[in-house]
Amino acid sequence: METFSNNLKEQQPLKLKIDANVVRQLGEELISDPEQAILELVKNSYDADSDWCVVNIDTTYQEEISGVTYKGRITIEDDGVGMTQQQISKGWLTISYSEKQKLKKEYKLTKKHHRSYQGDKGLGRLSSMKLGSVLRLNTSTDKDIPSLFVQLNWDEFRPGTTLDNIPVQLSQNEARNRGTKLEIIGLTDLDKWKSTESKRELQTKLSSLISPFKIDENFNVFLNIDKNDIDLSKLTEDVLKIAVVQFNFEYKNGILCCLGKVKLPYYLGTKTQSESRYNKFIKSDNGQEFYNFLNEVSNLKEYKLKKLNNQKETDWFMEFSQEYNWQDITAYKTPYESPGNFVAEWNYIFLGNKAFRILSNESGLEDINIELVKTLTGIGVYKGQFRVGKSEDDWLGLAKDKTSGEGFYSLRPENTIGYFSFPAYEGESLKEKSDRQGFVENEAYNGFMSIAKKMIAFSNQFLNRSRRASITFTENKNLLENNRPETFNAEDAILEIKNLTSNAKSKKEKVYQSSKETVVVIENAKKSIDSALNDLFLDDKAREVIQILKNQVNLVNEKYLAFNSEYDGFLNTLVSHEISADKIIYRLEQFEKQIDDFYDFTAIGLAAQNLAHEINPQLDDITLNANEIKKSLQSLNIQNINIYSQINTIIRTTQVIAKDVTLINPMLRSRREKMDDLNILSVAQNYIELREERFKSEEIKFILLDEQLSINIKFNKGKFTQIIDNLVRNSEYWLNHFYKINNNDQKKIFIQYTPTGFILWDTGPGIREGMDQVLFEMFTTDKVNGQGLGLFITNKILNQRGCNIRLLNELNSRNRKYKFEIDMTGAISDGN
């Protein structure tokens, strides 16, 4: 035993070693593709405070190193601060060590351009492994001192070789200008870099990875492939010239400012008739009359519109803007927090249609490659000059919105090019994933997505509403041009056709009689002519003239008979359309009835949705309490089989109810047609009592005022309860949302009774400016996943009984309208 111990002491101390293959695996996992690898190396140039960075790819290059011939070279060179030997040894050659990580935590910026550092994981140099075999570094911190030269070979990072056995060459070279030159020799997959398609793919990928939007004017990246210079920003600049709509956003200190610009060709339809009306009614005066019309469209009043000085179709026609406070932006997911300041720009481009051809031709870009444009589509997120994640994925969910109620003209991912940009350290709470392919889903990410959803809503609502308004405008102008009033609708058109067919029926007999008389006149004329020709004393000249007259009369007769036949057929067809007109009138009446039914069925659907949402927590409580009772009985050693059986029955029943809730059909329509005698105070009190536990858990208090003024009405109880439910749920939502931001405020809902109905308000944020103009329109909402139907349906249900709802002009402490007045005059009982 003693001998064994002495032998241990004589041996070298144990050391932990790392196999070189681990480094190779690390590089493979963290760098997704060659383009991303180049991007990581360009980031190093950016962090080095350089003015420029040149990426040179030479597929024809060959060099022999240690007896091996390597083909192809990538050079990345900059004029940055360079590196000292200590920085190379401690930083660049130490895997995962990053001095930048410390600088970022201390919110330090680069000295010259005041940039935030992009790299922070100490893994950027592994990017070169993805590109080729031999890595060379030539760097200088001052043009008057020798530069440093480093070389290593990634091929030597093989399994079975430890890191301390990997040779790294270090030497001094002649002095050079300050900066760094990185060479990767012996390119991996050389053929990829040679093909024309791959070169174009590299251009477009780098154009999106290295921001093509000129976010940082002090950093220019140049790309050269096989002696061909490629401008990474030129392609994007050309594409943006053919955008029909542009959106600019700035989120700063809790305020989201949204500004959009639109060109006239956005309102150019795809049909020939639409194009004709666009040219005649919109383009002819550069959109001036159309702009005046838009200012009167009710659901556009939440936007601030401004006419621009457009002289041609490539000019911007109009601006539209809106502002939102952080308190107005509802959560995409919770918990959420403000992600920091950022700016964004989105460009909407029509590909291949008439608007695209107009804008590309007038911009001198008629030869632009549509397929190349498609490769740039998507919205990227940039921190500084560099993109995070992949923009080609529809990570914003733009495709979903076009299937929503208002979404036919919405942004589409394949037609949108744009970016989000976080400057300096504003977005530091947004954490990048280690593979650089997106963000960690934390509170800041949820806040960022909440703001992004609000930006999408701002954009899509304007696109849909203004596009539909353009159709209404051109239709109205066309009606006026054809002597029809703007109020001329489908019913008027059908009645016009009905009258036309009825008149045709009455005139058919008159035409028939006139036709018979005309035939008789012509026949008499022919007889007179024949009689004259038979006159023996007629000279040859007169006979010739009369013969010509006879021929002309015969020709008139033939044409008349042909015309009369066609006209008679036309009248018969027109008369037969009287049945068609009656059928259309009948269907229109059915449609009107179905629209009324739609409001009822939608209301039923909302009620079912609310009930399903509300009942599940109650069923969970029942199941939980039943199980607690079982545990209590067991702890007391009570073995009554009947009690256990009844408890199990309760649990099974709640499970069945929970399952049936998904198929529930509340408040049959026949019940909703019945009129009930109601007292509005009693209905409200009953509603609150039934939901007392929920409101108590949410700390929401109800305050009823002037109860003695409560009136009796004749109204369907289910519908009136739903009116209250829609209003209360709206208040409940905004109180809970607002409380998360201002948790020192109390959550209260007030109902004040009046001689004609009641007024309801709450202590929430109130209605933001602009929204108060369109509050009762269909599909209008500020909620992230809201349907925009609650207040719309409430208004329709009230209107059916001659009642109404309006937003009073009184302002709350936040200078916003906040009180809803419900006027039940049309439903007041005679007994009041």
pLDDT in tens, 479-500: 787 666 656 566 666 666 666 6
* pLDDT of 77 higher than 90: yes
CA 73 vs CA 137, 192, 225, 470: distances in Å: 13, 13, 10, 56
Residue 11: pLDDT band with limits 50, 70, 90:
low
CATH of the domain spanning 20-231, picked from 3.30.565.10, 3.40.50.720, 3.90.1150.10, 1.20.140.10: 3.30.565.10
Q: 497 near 577, Cβ under 8 Å?
A: yes
Residue 4: pLDDT band with limits 50, 70, 90:
very low
Q: What is the pLDDT of residues 268-281, one digit of tens each?
A: 876 666 788 888 89
* pLDDT of 721 higher than 70: yes
Domain boundaries, the chain: 20-231, 235-481, 490-648, 674-827
What is the dihedral angle through the alpha carbons of 722, 725, 726, 730, rounded to the nearest 10 degrees? 180
> How far is 576 from 504, CA to CA, in rounded Å?
10
Q: What is the pLDDT of residues 395-433, one digit of tens each?
A: 888 887 654 445 688 898 888 988 898 875 555 677 776
Q: 729 near 789, Cβ under 8 Å?
A: no
Return the sign of the alpha-carbon dihedral for residues 679, 680, 684, 687: positive
Average pLDDT over residues 160-183: 87
At 126, list the tokens.
């592994």
Residue 390: pLDDT band with limits 50, 70, 90:
low
pLDDT value for 504: 62
Q: Which amino acid is at 458?
A: F
pLDDT value for 238: 75
> How far is 317 from 285, CA to CA, in rounded Å?
11
> How far is 455 from 260, CA to CA, in rounded Å?
11
Q: Give CA 549 to chain center in angstroms.
A: 77
Q: What is the pLDDT of residues 177-204, one digit of tens each?
A: 899 999 999 998 888 888 777 777 777 7
Residue 793's Cβ-side half-sphere holds a number of Cα atoms within 13 Å equal to 25
Q: Which amino acid is at 704?
A: L
The larger pLDDT score, comparing residue 74 to residue 359, is at: 74
Q: What is the pLDDT of residues 803-825, one digit of tens each?
A: 999 999 999 988 999 999 999 99
* pLDDT of 666 higher than 50: no
Residue 262: pLDDT band with limits 50, 70, 90:
very high
Average pLDDT over residues 358-377: 72
pLDDT value for 102: 72
pLDDT value for 818: 93
pLDDT value for 485: 63
Q: 751 near 744, Cβ under 8 Å?
A: no
How many Cβ atoms sit within 10 Å of the Cβ of residue 456? 21
Q: What is the pLDDT of residues 93-135, one digit of tens each?
A: 777 666 777 776 776 788 888 777 776 555 667 778 889 999 9
Residue 720's closest CA among 787, 667, 665? 667
pLDDT value for 304: 93
Cis peptide bond upstream of 13, omega within 30: no
Burial class (CB in 10 A: 0-12, 13-18, 19+), 142: middle
Q: 144 near 178, Cβ under 8 Å?
A: no
Return the sign of the alpha-carbon dihedral for residues 102, 105, 107, 112: positive
Mean pLDDT of the chain: 79
> How far is 250 from 344, CA to CA, in rounded Å?
6
Q: What is the pLDDT of residues 524-580, one digit of tens each?
A: 777 777 777 676 566 777 777 677 777 777 777 776 666 666 666 666 665 565 556
**In the block, which residue shows the tokens 């006239």?**
264
Residue 1: pLDDT band with limits 50, 70, 90:
very low
The larger pLDDT score, comparing residue 706 to residue 591, is at: 706
Residues comprising the chain, all counted: 832
Average pLDDT over residues 501-528: 67
Of the spans 64-78, 156-170, 708-722, which averages the highest pLDDT?
64-78
Residue 244's closest CA among 315, 310, 307, 308? 315
> How far is 442 from 133, CA to CA, in rounded Å?
38
Phi, psi of 95, rounded to the nearest 5 degrees: -60, 130
- Provide the b/e sequence for 358-396 (b: ≥16 CB within 10 Å): bbbebeebeebeeeebebbbbbbbbbbbbbbbbbeeebb
CA 512 vs CA 447, 509, 543: distances in Å: 78, 5, 35
pLDDT value for 727: 93
The larger pLDDT score, comparing residue 44 to residue 537, is at: 44
At 48, list the tokens.
């080095």
pLDDT value for 614: 62
* pLDDT of 753 higher than 80: yes
- Provide the b/e sequence for 761-799 (b: ≥16 CB within 10 Å): bbbbbbbbbbbbbbbbbbbbbbbbeebbbbbbbbbbbbe
Using DSSP, state whether 588 is helix, strand or coil.
Answer: helix
Average pLDDT over residues 55-74: 93
Greatest alpha-carbon pair distance for the chain in Å reads: 167
Residue 664: pLDDT band with limits 50, 70, 90:
very low
Residue 704: pLDDT band with limits 50, 70, 90:
very high
* pLDDT of 225 higher than 70: yes
At 685, list the tokens.
């009190």
> How far is 329 from 738, CA to CA, in rounded Å?
10
The larger pLDDT score, comparing residue 25 to residue 3, is at: 25
pLDDT value for 454: 92
Q: 55 near 184, Cβ under 8 Å?
A: no
Q: Give CA 454 to chain center in angstroms.
A: 9
> How far is 101 from 118, CA to CA, in rounded Å?
9
Q: Give CA 803 to chain center in angstroms.
A: 36
Number of H helices, E strands in the chain: 23, 23
pLDDT value for 403: 47
CATH code reported for the domain at 674-827: 3.30.565.10
> How far is 353 from 808, CA to CA, in rounded Å?
46
* pLDDT of 612 higher than 60: no
How many Cβ atoms sit within 10 Å of the Cβ of residue 736? 15
> How far is 767 from 782, CA to CA, in rounded Å?
10
% of the chain with per-residue pLDDT over 90: 24
Average pLDDT over residues 283-288: 92
Residue 663: pLDDT band with limits 50, 70, 90:
very low
Q: What is the pLDDT of residues 438-493, one digit of tens each?
A: 677 888 888 899 999 999 999 999 999 999 999 999 988 887 876 666 565 666 66
Give ∠ CA 802-807-808 in degrees, rounded to 5: 110
Q: Which amino acid is at 633?
A: L
Of the spans 222-231, 432-441, 622-631, which averages the highest pLDDT?
222-231
Q: 243 near 373, Cβ under 8 Å?
A: no
* pLDDT of 648 higher than 90: no
In the chain, the N- to C-terminal Cα span, in Å, equals 109
Residue 216's closest CA among 385, 393, 2, 66? 385
> How far is 436 from 264, CA to CA, in rounded Å?
40
Asked if the domains at 20-231 and 674-827 fall in one CATH topology, the answer is: yes
